[in-house]
Chains A and B, each alone.
Chain A
Amino acid sequence: MAVDTADPAELAKFEAIAAEWWDPEGKFKPLHMLNPCRLDYICDQIAAEFDRDRAGTEPFSGLRVLDIGCGGGLLSEPMARLGARVVGADAAAGNIPVARVHAEQSGLDIDYRHTTAEALAEAGEQFDVVLNMEVVEHVASPPDYIQACQRLLKPGGLMICSTINRNPKSFAMAIVGAEWVMRWLPKGTHDWKKFITPDELYDLLRGAGLEPVDKKGFVFNPLGWSWSLSDRDLSVNYVTASVKPE
């Protein structure tokens, strides 16, 4: 990767892009809106799996966390703040220096890498937690990808995986609504045919040797303009937790 952050002009460019990533009213607004809700889910699941007190100081210290598709670091930074040792991986090279600049401005130590889940698995890296959020609907081969994620987990490790359901409602919400009407996401961000139903995802997870332990819906409330977790409504965005047997 040809990234030289020692070049001031390059650095300024990365800072500008980082500012875009982290602007809650900017082009990643939908992620910022969803973030508190998915963080609550992630934190609750990690705390339950590894018996940590969320009210404690740096409750996730000692845990090694991988954030796949880390982008600007919207999940990596919170995990680092909570004490975890975080590797943020993104297949898009441009995201890495951007995320790095922002972490440094925020006083956080995060290991950002331009790499893929498959390459990390190949290298024998292992983690207590793998965050696999809004990625699986974009990959070429979901079974191979989930298999790589499974290999990245230590025995007893936890994977959080979120994606978008496939049905007429999710088409209306995620593509017509978010891309065409609200312009939250660039047109063409999602291909509806690649969306995955919860049953299909559970099959993928089990097929890779993981044990699904929980699933919840992320539900958008247009009145409060916010997201919440739902036990029953998994019709559009949803999240799962699965563990790798010891």
Chain B
Amino acid sequence: MDNPAERAIVRLMFDADVVIAGGALTGASLALALAKGGARVVVVDRLPAGAQVSPDFDGRAYALALASQRLFRALGVWEAVAEQAQPILHVKTGDGRPGEGPLGGFLHLDHGEIDEGPMGYMIEDRHLRPALMAALAQAEGVTVLAGEEIVAQEVHPGNVAVTLGSGRVLRGALLAGADGRGSPTARRAGIARRDSDYGQTALTCAVAHELPHGGVAHQFFMPSGPLAILPLPGKRSSIVWSERRERAEELAKADDEAFLAALRPVFGDFLGEIRLEGVRFAYPLNLTVAERIVAERVALVGDAAQGIHPIAGQGLNQGLRDVATLAEVVTEARRRGEDCGSSLVLERHRAWRSFDRTALTLATDGFNRLFSNDNPLLRAARDLGVSAVAALPDVRRRFIREAAGLTGDLPRLLQGKAL
């Protein structure tokens, strides 16, 4: 009765525990985190090997919350970039009006008020990305298929199969979609998205300035949108300047001299003379939220789950919270022998992320709408609210911890602990 040769079906061979669609920052971080936990991972990335990485400074930088920095430390990536990172020691927010520049700080968050250290770190893309890719290349249990695209995914009982453009089929227990705002993984899984447009575009660039920034991150709320000035190593800062769409498009097209002439009055002169460094980028600001972050044998992380307004640099930080949560849930499941792609396991990920996700998208959305409005009533309400925060040390500490990403039920990696 037990002769295997008589059976009509053959035991399936798995290529991986988890197949990850997308090998950019969140996809690579997820692969590393899962591999640290002992999983076998295949990363499928559309770009050819090395295409993501360029050694020249192009102006892109991330404001990593302290929790995100701890995750990179736990993944063994931080050491390689620590010297290039600029600690964020203070956050100052202020009001501003066009032509008048910043009107001065009315909320000051100082890392000295909490014990954990800096609220976060500024790190340039040209340092973080190669460090992550190098760690990935060395990680045991990770296979990267670069220059390959997933063209189909099919869910079966017990497994998920993805077909690559080359015709190759990969089978695993779980498919993780780390494939960005328009996530084909989400689309193929039948997950709808809700998109909202802010009618704003963020212009990003880096500037060199005369005076030292002292590790201060500034956020000025102009009626047309917020301006963030974030400290980079040396006398340089990264700028995220949000403007109404039409105006921003004009500025994006303008030459450097004209751009700088427009930036100067908004930026003010508190850091002395400024000049442009690297490349300028323009990103239309919209919020895209997947209606669900899990489907059968599919989990979404990063922008595929929620592409949020880059105000306060929360996009990558939020993506890394997805990564830390999914990696912990999958690792725990694997260590008790559970099927890590089963709906029971994915439900744990969904439940853990749901509060954070709702709170953040609402907060970021509301925050920006509130702060980029010149309506006098809103201005008054806002000033009142912010002075209340400024006056109460406990509330202020709570804000500082929030900015550092230290609030909520934190996954182990965000506490800097191994899985």
Interface residues, chain A, CB within 8 Å of chain B? 1, 3-8, 11, 15, 18-19, 22, 24, 32, 35-36, 39-40, 43, 54-57, 77-82, 100-109, 111, 113-114
Of the listed stretches B89-97, B106-114, B307-315, B334-342, chain A binds B334-342
- Are A81 and B337 within 8 A (Cβ)? yes
CB distance from A4 to the nearest CB of B (A): 7
- Are A107 and B171 within 8 A (Cβ)? yes
Of the listed stretches B3-11, B214-222, B256-264, chain A binds B3-11
Q: Which 3 A-B residue pairs are closest in the complex by CB-CB distance? A: A78-B337, A105-B158, A106-B158
**B10 contact set on A, CB distance < 8 A:** 104
CB distance from B294 to the nearest CB of A (A): 13
B183 adjacent to chain A (CB < 8 Å)? no
B14 adjacent to chain A (CB < 8 Å)? yes
25 contacts across the A-B interface (CB closer than 8 A): A3-B1, A5-B7, A5-B8, A6-B7, A8-B8, A11-B8, A22-B157, A22-B158, A39-B337, A55-B37, A55-B38, A55-B335, A57-B38, A78-B336, A100-B7, A102-B158, A103-B11, A104-B12, A105-B159, A106-B173, A107-B13, A107-B158, A107-B171, A108-B11, A114-B1
- Are A107 and B11 within 8 A (Cβ)? yes
Complex Cα gap A29–B159 (Å): 20
Name the one of A3, A43, A105 contacting B336, with C-beta atoms under 8 angstroms.
Answer: A43
Closest to B12 in A: A107
Name the one of B11, B335, B343, B344 contacting A54, with C-beta atoms under 8 angstroms.
Answer: B335
**A109 contact set on B, CB distance < 8 A:** 11
Closest to B10 in A: A104
- Are A79 and B2 within 8 A (Cβ)? no
**B417 contact set on A, CB distance < 8 A:** none
Complex Cα gap A43–B158 (Å): 22
B156 adjacent to chain A (CB < 8 Å)? yes
- Are A104 and B1 within 8 A (Cβ)? no
Complex Cα gap A24–B11 (Å): 23
**B344 contact set on A, CB distance < 8 A:** 24, 32, 35-36
**A82 contact set on B, CB distance < 8 A:** 337
- Are A36 and B338 within 8 A (Cβ)? yes
CB distance from B272 to the nearest CB of A (A): 53
- Are A107 and B14 within 8 A (Cβ)? yes
Complex Cα gap A127–B38 (Å): 27
Having A19-B157, A104-B11, A106-B12, one finds 16 other A-B pairs with CB under 8 Å, namely A1-B1, A3-B1, A6-B6, A7-B8, A22-B342, A24-B344, A36-B344, A79-B337, A81-B339, A104-B9, A105-B12, A105-B158, A106-B159, A106-B173, A106-B339, A108-B11
Closest to B172 in A: A107
**A32 contact set on B, CB distance < 8 A:** 344
- Are B11 and A4 within 8 A (Cβ)? no
Closest to B8 in A: A6
Q: Which parts of B1-49 form the interface with A (CB within 8 Å)?
A: 1-2, 6-14, 37-38
Closest to B336 in A: A39
CB distance from B102 to the nearest CB of A (A): 48
- Are A4 and B6 within 8 A (Cβ)? yes
CB distance from A141 to the nearest CB of B (A): 27
